C-alpha cells in the first residue's frame, strides 16, 4: 500500500523570492525638511536625475529638488522652488523630460517649472508656465502617459482640467477641456496604457472611468461594500485596482473589470490600520506593491488575468513609518543587480529619504533578460495636438539591456537609459564642426573627440573662471556643478563613440555588398 504525504502547492514564479533592500545610511538623504501637511498624496517624485520632495516655506508653498546622486546630509539652506502662495500639495515629473516638473497648490494654481541641467543652485520663483482655471485649491496633477505636454489637474472645485502646454503664453487661463462628472473631491487619477481612459476615485466613494478628451462618463461604481481611496489601471490587463476600506473600516484592496464597475471581481481585507494605502503597479513584471501611510509595511503581489487574480508574495517591513514615497522609473534602475523596483520612502521622524530596492535574487551578475522586457521609454508617441484631435497610441518602448542604451549617470549605480533610436537622433543633432584640440584646463576624462564651441565656452566658464566662493554652501554647489559638467562632457564623448561604431558597421555592410 502506497501512502502519499501532503505537500503545499506553490505557484511557480520568478518573482516569488523578491526582497526589499534598504539603502545604507550614506546613500540616504538626511536632514530633509519634509512637509508637515496631512494631505494623502505621495509628497515626492523621482526620475533618474532628480528627486523632488514637498517642504515648508514661510509665506507660501515650496518643494526641494535634489540631484539624485548627491546623497548624505542635505544643506539646511538648500535652494527651493518657492513660487506658490499656498502650500504645495502635489508634484509630478514630466515623463518625457527629466528637467520639467509640475506642481499644484492651495493657491488654486498649477505651475510648470524648468529645472537647470546642473540642478537648483538658487531659489526659483518664476515658473515656465502658470495654469489658472481652478476656483479652489488644486490637490492632484497627472501627465498624460503617451502625449507630450498634456497635463491634467483636479481640485476642490470638483473639476478635472486638461491643459495643453504647447501654447505660447506664460500664463494659461483656460484649459482645453474641463471634465465635470464628479460630485465631490477627486482623491486619485490613473490612466490606462495609451491614455485613452482616465480612472478616478472620489470622496463620494465612487470609482469612475472617463473619456479624458470628451469628458464623457463611461463607467461608474455603485458598490456599497468597498469605499475606494486610491485607484490604478493595471496595464493591459483590462482591470482596475482600488485601495480603500470595507464597511467595517478594515483596509482593503479590490479588483474591478474596467467594463463593469457594478461589483469587484476580487476583494481582500488587509488589516485594521487607519492610514491610506498607496498602490503601485509594474506592468513589465505584473507585480503590485501596496504601501501603507503611517506604517513601515510594503506588501507585494503578482497579478494574473485569471482567477484568483491576486497572488500574495511577501511583505517588506520597517520600524520607521513612511509618510509618503516616490518611485524611480524603470529606466533608472540598476539592472546589473536585478533591481526591478525602487521606492524612496519619506521618514518624517528622522527627516530622512530612504531608497528601498526590490531585488530578484539571481546567482549570475549578468543582465537577466527574462525580468526586463521592453518598457516605456523617454519619447512621446503623440503630440498634444494629435491626441486632442482623437489619436491614441501606446508608449514607445525601449530596452533596458546595457548594450542598447546610453549610460549617462553611473555614480552610485544610477543610470539614465535611452533607446538606440534616441541616441542616434541625439548624434545627428550634434553640430558638425572640425574637431578642435581641447584647452589644457579641461578635465583629462573629457577626450577631444567632440569639442563644439558651446562645450568649450561652457567649460571655460564653469571650470576656469568661477567667482570665488564666499560660503561653504557656495563651495559645495560649485563642486557639484563641476561634477555635472564632467558627466556632460563624458556623455558627449560616449555619443561620438557610438556614432563612430555605427559608421564602421555601415562601411562594413557596403563593402560586403560590393564583394558579393
* Residue linked to cell 518664476: 126
**Pair (383, 431) in one structural domain:** no
Q: What pLDDT is attached to residue 507?
A: 78
Q: What pLDDT is attached to residue 225?
A: 83
DSSP classification of residue 165: T
Q: What pLDDT is attached to residue 98?
A: 96
> What gap in Å lies between CA 443 and CA 425, rounded to an integer?
27
Element containing residue 228 per DSSP (H, E):
strand 227-233
> What gap in Å lies between CA 147 and CA 386, rounded to an integer?
8
**DSSP per-residue string spanning 4-60:** ------PPP-TTTT-EEEEPPGGGSEES--B-----SS--EEE-SSEEEEEEEETTE
> What gap in Å lies between CA 251 and CA 247, rounded to an integer?
10
The 10s digit of each residue's pLDDT in 187-201 is 999 999 999 999 999
Q: What pLDDT is attached to residue 442?
A: 35
The alpha carbon dihedral of 427, 431, 437, 440 has a sign of: negative
Please report whether residue 404 resides in a domain. no
Please report whether residue 500 resides in a domain. yes
Please report whether residue 216 resides in a domain. no
Please report whether residue 275 resides in a domain. no
> What gap in Å lies between CA 413 and CA 339, rounded to an integer?
11
The alpha carbon dihedral of 140, 143, 144, 148 has a sign of: positive
The alpha carbon dihedral of 28, 32, 36, 40 has a sign of: negative
Q: Number of C-alpha atoms within 13 angstroms, CB side, residue 109?
A: 19
Please report whether residue 311 resides in a domain. no
Nearest to 20 by CA among 319, 280, 342, 336: 342
**Pair (479, 438) in one structural domain:** yes
Q: What pLDDT is attached to residue 277?
A: 95
Chain mean position to CA 39: 20
Angle (CA) 225-228-234 rounded to 5° is 115
Q: Are 77 and 28 spatial neighbours (Cβ–Cβ below 8 Å)?
A: no
The alpha carbon dihedral of 433, 437, 438, 441 has a sign of: negative
Angle (CA) 357-360-361 rounded to 5° is 115
Q: What is the CATH number of the domain that holds 48?
A: 2.130.10.10
> What gap in Å lies between CA 233 and CA 238, rounded to an integer?
8
**Pair (425, 381) in one structural domain:** no
Please report whether residue 368 resides in a domain. yes
Q: Are 161 and 177 spatial neighbours (Cβ–Cβ below 8 Å)?
A: yes
**DSSP per-residue string spanning 322-365:** PSEEEE--GGGS-GGGTEEEEEEEEEGGGTEEEEEEEE---S--
**DSSP per-residue string spanning 452-506:** -HHHHHHHIIIIISPPPP-SHHHHHHHHHHHHHHHHHHHHHHHHHHHHHHHHHHH
> What gap in Å lies between CA 224 and CA 207, rounded to an integer?
12
**Pair (367, 478) in one structural domain:** no
> What gap in Å lies between CA 187 and CA 199, rounded to an integer?
11
**Pair (349, 496) in one structural domain:** no
Q: Give the cell for residue 400.
A: 533596458
Please report whether residue 460 resides in a domain. yes
CA-CA distances (angstroms) from residue 357 to 5, 75, 234, 330, 383? 38, 25, 21, 12, 34
* Residue linked to cell 539646511: 76
Regarding beta strands 50-57 and 44-46, do their DSSP bridges make them parallel or antiparallel, or are they unpaired?
A: antiparallel
> What gap in Å lies between CA 287 and CA 283, rounded to an integer?
7
Q: What pLDDT is attached to residue 2?
A: 39
Domain with 435 in it: 419-515
**Pair (376, 493) in one structural domain:** no
Q: Are 197 and 256 spatial neighbours (Cβ–Cβ below 8 Å)?
A: no
Please report whether residue 240 resides in a domain. no
**Pair (347, 464) in one structural domain:** no
**Pair (353, 447) in one structural domain:** no
**Pair (382, 441) in one structural domain:** no
**Pair (495, 378) in one structural domain:** no
Ranges under pLDDT 70 in the chain: 1-11, 404-474, 476-477, 480, 502, 506, 509-516
**DSSP per-residue string spanning 167-193:** SS-SEE-S-SEEE---SS-EEEEEE-T
Q: Give the cell for residue 198.
A: 482616465
> What gap in Å lies between CA 199 and CA 183, rounded to an integer?
15
Domain count, the chain: 2
**Pair (41, 164) in one structural domain:** yes
**Pair (34, 155) in one structural domain:** yes
Q: What are phi and psi of 358, to 5 degrees?
A: -95, 120
Amino acid at each position: 500500500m502506497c501512502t502519499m504525504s501532503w505537500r503545499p502547492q506553490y505557484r511557480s514564479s520568478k518573482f516569488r523570492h523578491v526582497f526589499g533592500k534598504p539603502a545604507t545610511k550614506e546613500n540616504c538623504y538626511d536632514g530633509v525638511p519634509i512637509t508637515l501637511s496631512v494631505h494623502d498624496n505621495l509628497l515626492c517624485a523621482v526620475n533618474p536625475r532628480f528627486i523632488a520632495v514637498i517642504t515648508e516655506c514661510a509665506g507660501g508653498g515650496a518643494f526641494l529638488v535634489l540631484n539624485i546622486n548627491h546623497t548624505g546630509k542635505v544643506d539646511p539652506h538648500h535652494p527651493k522652488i518657492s513660487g506658490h502662495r499656498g502650500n504645495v500639495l502635489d508634484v509630478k515629473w514630466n515623463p518625457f523630460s527629466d528637467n520639467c516638473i509640475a506642481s499644484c497648490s492651495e493657491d488654486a494654481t498649477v505651475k510648470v517649472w524648468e529645472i537647470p541641467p546642473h540642478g537648483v543652485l538658487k531659489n526659483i520663483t518664476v515658473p515656465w508656465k502658470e495654469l489658472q482655471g481652478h476656483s479652489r485649491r488644486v490637490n492632484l496633477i497627472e501627465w498624460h502617459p503617451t502625449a507630450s505636454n498634456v497635463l491634467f489637474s483636479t481640485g476642490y472645485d470638483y473639476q478635472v482640467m486638461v491643459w495643453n502646454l504647447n501654447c505660447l503664453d506664460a500664463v494659461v487661463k483656460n484649459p482645453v477641456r474641463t471634465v465635470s462628472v464628479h460630485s465631490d473631491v477627486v482623491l486619485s487619477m490613473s490612466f490606462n496604457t495609451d491614455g485613452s481612459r482616465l480612472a478616478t476615485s472620489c470622496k463620494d466613494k465612487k470609482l469612475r472611468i472617463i473619456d479624458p478628451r470628451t469628458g464623457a462618463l463611461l463607467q461608474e461604481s455603485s458598490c456599497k461594500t468597498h469605499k475606494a481611496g486610491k485607484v490604478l489601471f493595471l496595464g493591459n490587463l483590462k482591470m482596475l485596482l482600488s485601495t480603500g476600506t470595507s464597511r467595517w473600516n478594515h483596509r482593503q484592496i479590490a479588483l474591478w473589470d474596467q467594463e463593469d464597475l457594478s461589483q469587484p471581481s476580487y476583494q481582500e481585507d488587509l488589516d485594521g490600520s487607519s492610514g491610506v494605502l498607496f498602490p503601485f503597479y509594474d506592468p513589465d513584471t505584473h507585480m503590485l506593491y501596496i504601501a501603507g501611510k503611517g506604517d513601515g509595511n510594503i506588501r507585494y503581489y503578482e497579478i494574473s488575468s485569471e482567477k484568483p487574480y491576486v497572488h500574495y508574495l511577501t511583505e517588506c517591513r520597517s520600524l520607521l513609518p513612511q509618510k509618503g514615497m516616490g518611485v524611480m522609473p524603470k529606466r533608472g534602475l540598476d539592472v546589473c543587480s536585478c533591481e526591478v523596483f525602487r521606492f524612496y520612502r519619506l521618514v518624517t521622524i528622522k527627516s530622512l529619504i530612504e531608497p528601498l530596492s526590490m531585488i530578484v535574487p539571481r546567482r549570475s551578475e549578468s543582465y537577466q533578460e527574462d525580468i526586463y522586457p521592453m518598457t516605456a521609454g523617454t519619447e512621446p508617441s503623440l503630440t498634444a495636438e494629435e491626441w486632442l484631435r482623437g489619436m491614441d497610441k501606446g508608449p514607445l518602448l525601449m530596452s533596458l539591456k546595457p548594450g542598447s542604451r546610453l549610460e549617462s549617470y553611473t555614480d552610485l549605480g544610477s543610470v539614465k537609459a535611452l533607446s538606440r533610436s534616441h541616441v542616434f537622433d541625439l548624434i545627428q543633432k550634434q553640430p558638425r564642426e572640425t574637431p578642435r584640440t581641447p584647452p589644457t584646463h579641461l578635465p583629462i576624462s573629457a577626450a577631444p573627440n567632440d569639442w563644439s564651441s558651446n562645450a568649450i565656452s561652457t567649460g571655460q566658464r564653469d571650470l576656469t573662471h568661477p567667482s570665488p566662493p564666499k560660503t561653504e554652501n557656495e563651495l559645495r554647489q560649485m563642486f557639484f556643478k563641476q561634477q555635472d559638467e564632467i558627466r556632460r562632457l563624458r556623455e558627449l564623448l560616449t555619443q561620438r563613440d557610438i556614432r563612430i561604431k555605427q559608421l564602421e558597421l555601415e562601411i562594413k555592410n557596403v563593402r560586403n555588398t560590393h564583394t558579393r
